[in-house]
Chain A
């Protein structure tokens, strides 16, 4: 092998860079569950659990547009139930614990929603 020193350094850099997902992950903590705590006194959300898990951000975006741009404060869910479009009065009525609910997934997955540039972050956790 020619230029063995330079090539070896190159190979080491390459291997370190491209195995970084593994060792970067092993350096930190493991992540086995979200550790989210659901509201205790309510069983039903606006839509199904799957829908809320996957698409709540799109729903919130739609709600913002409906309430503020179209002045429509009523959302009809897929099961026909009507909900008042309001983050403070509908969502946060049950999901009172910001740290144990919203933050659990958002922080772990580096999601930085801009809800709270206008809305108040719920402070109290009513146990």
Chain B
């Protein structure tokens, strides 16, 4: 945990220091191009790698009752047996995080009145689902809002998003809810790993690092907007230079901006090699994207070797005389077979 925190702080410090001593073009021009190439190529490579793994059989999950006899009610969303059902399940999964929604928490109640002793009880636990959903949607909105720096003229849908996001008109520049909620959701996801002992036991550096990295990105972003400000018109000129492949000078832009940019680049570079690959990975999940129709359709393993069949008729043809000598019942008697 500490290691990943220190690592993120180190990256931030290097970027900030580098931008201060005049290496801004390294962190602001070279790194973003490298990061975008690594990100896109890396993710495509991982997707192709996954697509090469065969999934010949359906993987039924215990999420719900599969399609069976008419009088047994099927869990349509959790255990579909048609392609349309799978599309519904994927939509629910991608947009509503249904797997997390079904999360339950098991606990041993030491002194339970029903059992008059210890009893294991399970109840619905929606916290992870709620904050995960909040994090992802806020992140999406923040990502979309940043398109005002990439597009000239800014399309009206981006304006609309911003007016919605800053609808409370708090302060100037007005407070954007998504930024604040993003920070809250991230802090919950981190606190969950720190204060739940079982979760803490299984948490590794590759769980903490993306959390701290995202916290640093959100933190620097919020700082740039409300506290240690930089002129966004200049930033837009700089960014538009990058996206038009004719980079302009970095003079006059706050070092904190380059820290923010560097952290985003590190996220992009880290992305294809980390658990963040659940973004394309959710579409590759066999337990989510395959209809559970094992009872209706025969799935044959495609690389099975060709079968060597020896039918009973052939068996009898081969051993007929011996079988007749032993007095075994035969389909065809030796004299008939000879005809």
Task: Give the chain A neighbours of B150 by CB distance below 8 A.
Answer: 20-22, 24-25
Tell me whether A25 and B151 are in contact (CB under 8 A): yes
Tell me whether A108 and B172 are in contact (CB under 8 A): no
* B232 proximal to A (CB < 8 A): yes
- Indicate the member of A3, A11, A14, A25 with the most B CB atoms within 10 Å: A25
Task: Give the chain B neighbours of A55 by CB distance below 8 A.
Answer: 229
* Given A14-B43, A15-B40, A7-B229 contact (CB < 8 Å): no
B47, closest chain A residue (CB): A11
* A89 proximal to B (CB < 8 A): no
Among B48, B55, B171, B240, which residue has its beta carbon within 8 angstroms of that of A32? B240
Taking CB atoms and an 8 Å cut-off, the chain A residues in 78-127 that contact chain B are 105, 107-114
Tell me whether A29 and B152 are in contact (CB under 8 A): yes
Tell me whether A10 and B229 are in contact (CB under 8 A): no
Tell me whether A109 and B154 are in contact (CB under 8 A): yes
* Given A58-B172, A105-B233, A111-B173, A2-B244 contact (CB < 8 Å): no
CA gap between A105 and B54 in the complex, in Å: 54
User: Which residues from chain A sit less than 8 Å from chain B, CB to CB?
Assistant: 1-4, 7, 10-11, 14-15, 18-22, 24-34, 36, 53-55, 57-58, 60-61, 105, 107-114
Task: Give the chain A neighbours of B48 by CB distance below 8 A.
Answer: 1, 7, 11
Q: What would be 20 A-B contacts, judged by CB atoms less than 8 Å apart?
A: A1-B51, A11-B44, A11-B47, A11-B48, A14-B44, A15-B40, A22-B36, A26-B243, A29-B153, A30-B240, A31-B236, A54-B230, A54-B231, A58-B172, A61-B171, A61-B172, A107-B154, A108-B152, A108-B153, A109-B233
* Given A2-B51, A10-B47, A55-B229, A18-B152 contact (CB < 8 Å): no
* Given A32-B237, A61-B171, A108-B233, A14-B51 contact (CB < 8 Å): no
CA gap between A29 and B149 in the complex, in Å: 12
Task: Give the chain A neighbours of B54 by CB distance below 8 A.
Answer: 2
Task: Give the chain B neighbours of A20 by CB distance below 8 A.
Answer: 147, 150
Among A10, A14, A25, A105, which residue has its beta carbon within 8 angstroms of that of B240? A25
Tell me whether B233 and A34 are in contact (CB under 8 A): yes
Interface size on B, residues (CB 8 A): 44
Given contacts A21-B243, A30-B240, A32-B240, 10 further A-B contacts (CB under 8 A): A2-B55, A7-B51, A18-B40, A19-B40, A25-B243, A25-B244, A28-B151, A36-B233, A53-B231, A109-B233
Task: Give the chain B neighbours of A10 by CB distance below 8 A.
Answer: 47, 280, 283
* B169 proximal to A (CB < 8 A): yes
Q: Mark B158-182, 1 if CB is under 8 A from A, else 0.
A: 1100110000010111100000000
* B248 proximal to A (CB < 8 A): yes
CA gap between A110 and B47 in the complex, in Å: 36
9 tightest Cβ-Cβ pairs between the two chains A and B: A25-B243, A61-B172, A110-B148, A110-B154, A31-B240, A7-B51, A21-B150, A57-B172, A31-B152
- Indicate the member of A26, A28, A113 with the most B CB atoms within 10 Å: A28
B54, closest chain A residue (CB): A2
CA gap between A15 and B152 in the complex, in Å: 22
Tell me whether B236 and A108 are in contact (CB under 8 A): yes
* Distance between B83 CB and nearest chain A CB, rounded to angstroms: 11
* B52 proximal to A (CB < 8 A): yes
Tell me whether A24 and B52 are in contact (CB under 8 A): no
Task: Give the chain B neighbours of A110 by CB distance below 8 A.
Answer: 148, 154, 158-159, 162
* Given A1-B51, A30-B240, A114-B169, A24-B151 contact (CB < 8 Å): yes
Q: Mark B53-85, 1 if CB is under 8 A from A, else 0.
A: 111000000000000000000000000000000
B248, closest chain A residue (CB): A32
* Given A54-B229, A109-B148, A110-B158, A22-B243 contact (CB < 8 Å): yes
Among B153, B158, B174, B280, which residue has its beta carbon within 8 angstroms of that of A14? B280
